[in-house]
Copies of this chain bind each other. A is one copy, B any other.
Amino acid sequence: MVQKQEYLSKNQKIVLDDVEKANQPLKAYSILYNVQKKGLKAPLQVYRALDKLVEIGKIHKIESRNAFVACKNSNCVVSNATAFSICESCEKVTEINNSKLSKYLSNFEDNSGMKYSKYNLEFFGLCKKCKNK
């Protein structure tokens, strides 16, 4: 039996490395620009690496921004429960790591009869800096 992938491939490492260095969300085509010196020439190479990295939880996608950010949560193995705060002025994005919140949302049930296996939450507002401007 072929095992599930436990390592990162060359392109996946290159892309993850770039996103981790950034410390802020990056757009796919910015990543492409950054990694061209390392040999990745086509959008698809970046998107494929991103897909896998998102799947295994190393990277999260900020859906409202079409941008990708490295997971800071060292134990985040799967990206099935994500929460972010987004400053609408400077666009600073921070991953929220709050066990009460994640517990609350993971256990949330409504009357639809649907059991949720995953969620993504994005908060918007002004960060400290921008609030005081």
Contact = CB atoms under 8 A, between A and B. Distances in A.
Interface string A98-113: 1001001100101011
B127 A123 contact: no
Given A63-B63, A104-B104, A116 B124 contact: yes
B120 A115 contact: no
Nearest to A61: B64
Interface string A27-70: 00000000000000000000000000000000000011000000
Interface of A: 63-64, 85, 87, 94, 96, 98, 101, 104-105, 108, 110, 112-128, 131
Chain A to chain B: the 4 pairs with minimum beta-carbon distance, closest first: A63-B63, A118-B124, A116-B123, A116-B125
